[in-house]
Amino acid sequence: MNELETTIAAPFKHGRKEKLTKMELVFYYVQDKRWMSQDQAKKLIDIAEKRNLLNKDGSEASYRFTGTLADVTIPLGFRPGDEIFSATEAEKDPVEALFDDIVNATGKNKKDLAAELQEINRHFDNLLLPQAAMVLLAKKYRVAYDAYLPALKETV
């Protein structure tokens, strides 16, 4: 069980409940354990829903942990790190992922490349979408972007 799963399972395990409301989950993370801010707790719940670790119960505003609570062991002194908020490669925004590829391929820092993106956008009178500007930047540096095109088109 990874850190994210342990963090999501903790309020259910400690409360010995199968269902918890969003408010109860946020209270557990923010007030009871003081692991994170209220905004982080809400973001954590959204991430858990996207990764199918939490299921919303029908019309009720309550959540169920999708794993088996009997299998969950929460280590003494457990405290989640910030890694639980980072997106996996599959969930990463295609614009950001392509930008990271350009950074890695060119060896330039993000600040310089962001300035180039702004310059490209200015050249087109600020009428370009970020996706299009990113593709133009990738073309400029001959970075492969074909794999990102379907995802980029979806975000338009």
The predicted-structure confidence for 17-31, as pLDDT tens digits, reads as follows 999 999 999 999 999
Which CATH class name applies to 3-85? mainly alpha
Q: Whole-angstrom Cα distance, residue 53 to residue 51?
A: 6
Q: How confident is the model at residue 2 (pLDDT cuts 50, 70, 90)?
A: confident
The CA distances from residue 17 to 24, 63, 69, 114, in Å, are 11, 10, 10, 47
- pLDDT for 154 equals 83
Considering the chain, tell me which residue range(s) the CATH 1.10.10 domain(s) occupy. 3-85
Q: How confident is the model at residue 93 (pLDDT cuts 50, 70, 90)?
A: confident
